[in-house]
C-alpha cells in the first residue's frame, strides 16, 4: 500500500495564500459584472419565471416591488449571472447560492434544541466561496439603506459580516475535521454574542420564546378547522388554498409520498409510517420561490397528534449554468444533500420525490420551532450584531464540508479582503437600485404583470 500524502495545516494555509497571486484579494472590489456585455435584467427575470405557475407570477412581482431589498431577494438568478467571470479565488465550497441575510434563522434540531443556521438551500451547489459572501454583503447594504442607516453605519455592518467570517475561518483552520463537522451555533452561543446590551437580550429572548411555540400543535390549531369530524387546512387565498381532489389525485399523492418515504433512512420510514395523510393544500412561499409549486400536507397519527410537511418544488440551481452542473440527477436530492452538507443539524424528515409531470420536489417539516430576524425594527447596533452572527454561521457552513485552512490562508489576518468585499457590496447595491427602477418600469409598462393585493396576507403566512 502506498504511503498516503497528507498535507499539514501549514501546507494548506500556504496553498490558500498562494492563490492570492492568481486572484488578489483586492481584485474582488473591482468587477461587479463579468459578462462584458449589456445586461437585460428584465429578460433575466422573465427567464427565471419560466415554468412557474402563471397566475402566481404577478404575486412574485408584487412582492419584489416593495423595495430594492425585496427585489434583490427575488433575483438570485441575476446576481449569479453577474458573478460569472468576476475574479474567482479558485476555492470551491458547497455554496448556499442565495445567501442573503433573511435566509438565516433558528429552528429545532433533531434533539429538540434551538440552533441558528442557514435555512434556505433551493440554489445550493458547489461554487466559489466568495459568491455567498458577496450576496450576503450586498444584502446587508440594501437592508441598511432600506432602514435609512447612514453610509458609515452601512459599511460598518458589512465589514462586521465579512470580518466575522474571516476571523471564524482562521480559528476553524486550527480545529479537526470532525470538530468542524459537529460544530453548531446554539442559543447559548447567540446569547454570548449578544453581549450585555439589554435591548438585544430582550429581543433575542422574545424570539426564542416565540420559536418554542411554533410547534406542529401550534400550527395545527392556527391553520386547521374541523370539517365533518376531521381537521382540514383552512383556505386563505390567494396564498393558501385547496385544488380539486379526486381518486386519481389521491393516488398521485400516495405514489409521490411512497417514493419520498424511500429516500428516508430506514428508522425514519418507520416513524413516517405512523402518520396518515389527512389533507393537502397549495401554499405560496417566500419571494424568489413564488410561482414554484409548493404544498402543505397535514398528517395525523391520532386525531390530536399532527405532522405538517412542506413539499417544495426543486428547480435547477441558479448557479448551474456557471459552475458546470450538479452531481445529482434529481434537484430535490441536490437540495437535501447540500442542506445536510452545510447545516449543523438538519430536519429528520428531509427527503425528495418526483411528481407525475417529471418535476422534482424536496420535503421537510413546516415551521418546526423556526424564527427569523425582524430587520424592520433593527437598529444599526442590532443589525451589526446580526451581521456578525451571519458571517460566523456562513464560515461554519463552508468549513463543515470544505477546507478551512485553505480558506484561512487565502483570507489572511488583515482586513484587506473585508474591505474589498465591502467595496463590491456597495457598488453592487448601487446597481441593484438601478435594476429595481428598470424592473418597476417594466411593471408600469405592462411587460411584467404585478399583483400587490396579497402583500399583507403574505406577511401573515410567512
Three cell numbers, residue 58: 404577478
pLDDT tens per residue, the chain (462 residues)?
788 888 899 999 999 999 999 999 999 998 887 656 678 999 999 999 999 989 889 999 999 999 999 999 999 999 999 999 899 999 999 999 999 999 998 887 777 778 899 999 999 999 999 999 999 999 999 999 999 999 999 999 999 999 999 999 999 999 988 998 999 998 888 887 777 777 778 888 887 777 777 777 777 778 889 888 889 999 988 888 988 777 878 899 999 999 999 999 999 999 999 999 999 999 888 777 888 899 999 999 998 899 999 999 999 999 999 998 888 899 999 999 999 999 998 899 999 999 989 999 999 998 777 778 888 888 999 999 999 999 999 999 999 989 999 999 999 999 999 999 999 999 999 999 999 999 999 999 999 999 865 444 334 333
86 close to 320: Cβ distance less than 8 angstroms: no
The rounded distance, in Å, linking the Cα atoms of 343 and 182 is 10
228 close to 215: Cβ distance less than 8 angstroms: no
Packing angle between helix 198-213 and helix 380-400, nearest 10 degrees?
60
Map out the domains of the chain as residue ranges: 9-213+370-461, 216-365
Look at the block and give the residue holding cell 434556505.
120
| Count of beta carbons in the 10 Å neighbourhood of residue 38 | 6
113: left (phi over 0), alpha (psi -120 to 50) or beta: beta
Q: pTM for this one? A: 0.92
Cis ω on the peptide bond leading into residue 350 (within 30° of 0)? Answer: no
The candidate with the shortest Cα–Cα distance to 139, out of 168, 119, 170, 162, is 162
Amino acid at each position: 500500500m502506498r504511503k498516503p500524502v497528507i498535507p499539514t495545516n501549514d501546507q494548506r494555509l500556504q496553498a490558500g495564500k498562494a492563490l492570492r497571486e492568481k486572484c488578489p484579494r483586492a481584485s474582488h472590489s473591482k468587477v461587479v459584472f463579468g459578462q462584458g456585455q449589456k445586461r437585460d435584467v428584465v429578460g433575466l427575470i422573465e427567464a427565471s419565471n419560466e415554468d412557474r405557475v402563471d397566475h402566481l407570477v404577478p404575486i412574485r412581482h408584487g412582492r419584489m416591488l416593495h423595495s430594492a431589498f425585496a427585489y434583490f431577494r427575488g433575483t438570485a438568478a441575476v446576481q449569479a449571472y453577474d458573478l460569472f467571470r468576476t475574479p474567482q479565488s479558485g476555492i470551491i465550497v458547497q455554496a448556499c447560492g442565495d445567501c442573503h441575510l433573511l435566509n438565516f434563522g433558528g429552528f429545532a434540531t433533531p434533539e429538540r434544541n434551538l440552533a441558528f443556521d442557514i435555512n434556505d438551500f433551493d440554489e445550493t451547489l458547489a461554487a466559489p466561496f466568495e459568491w455567498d459572501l458577496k450576496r450576503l454583503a450586498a444584502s446587508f447594504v440594501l437592508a441598511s439603506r432600506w432602514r435609512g442607516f447612514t453610509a458609515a453605519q452601512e459599511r460598518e455592518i458589512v465589514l462586521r459580516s465579512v470580518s466575522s467570517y474571516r476571523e471564524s475561518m482562521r480559528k476553524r483552520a486550527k480545529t479537526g475535521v470532525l470538530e468542524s463537522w459537529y460544530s453548531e451555533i446554539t442559543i447559548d452561543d447567540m446569547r454570548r454574542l449578544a453581549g450585555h446590551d439589554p435591548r438585544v437580550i430582550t429581543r433575542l429572548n422574545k424570539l426564542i420564546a416565540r420559536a418554542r411555540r411554533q410547534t406542529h400543535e401550534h400550527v395545527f390549531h392556527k391553520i386547521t378547522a374541523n370539517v365533518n369530524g376531521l381537521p382540514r387546512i383552512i383556505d386563505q387565498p390567494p396564498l393558501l388554498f385547496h385544488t380539486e381532489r379526486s381518486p386519481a389525485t389521491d393516488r398521485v399523492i400516495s405514489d409521490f409520498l411512497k417514493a419520498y418515504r424511500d429516500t428516508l433512512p430506514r428508522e425514519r420510514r418507520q416513524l413516517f409510517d405512523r402518520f396518515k395523510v389527512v389533507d393537502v393544500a397549495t401554499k405560496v412561499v417566500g419571494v424568489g420561490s413564488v410561482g414554484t409549486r409548493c404544498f402543505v400536507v397535514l398528517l395525523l397519527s391520532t386525531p390530536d397528534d399532527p405532522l405538517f410537511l412542506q413539499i417544495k418544488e426543486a428547480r435547477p440551481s441558479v448557479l448551474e449554468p456557471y459552475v458546470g452542473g450538479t452531481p445529482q440527477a434529481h434537484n430535490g436530492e441536490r437540495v437535501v444533500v447540500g442542506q445536510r452538507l452545510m447545516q449543523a443539524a438538519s430536519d429528520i424528515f428531509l427527503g425528495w420525490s418526483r411528481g407525475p409531470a417529471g418535476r422534482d420536489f424536496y420535503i421537510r417539516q413546516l415551521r418546526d420551532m423556526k424564527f427569523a430576524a425582524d430587520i424592520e425594527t433593527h437598529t444599526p447596533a442590532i443589525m451589526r450584531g446580526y451581521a456578525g452572527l451571519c458571517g460566523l454561521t456562513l464560515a461554519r457552513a463552508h468549513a463543515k464540508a470544505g477546507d478551512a485552512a485553505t480558506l484561512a490562508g487565502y483570507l489572511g489576518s488583515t482586513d484587506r479582503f473585508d474591505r474589498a468585499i465591502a467595496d463590491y457590496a456597495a457598488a453592487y447595491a448601487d446597481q441593484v437600485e438601478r435594476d429595481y427602477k428598470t424592473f418597476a418600469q417594466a411593471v408600469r409598462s405592462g411587460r411584467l404583470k404585478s399583483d400587490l393585493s396579497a402583500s399583507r396576507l403574505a406577511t401573515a403566512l410567512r
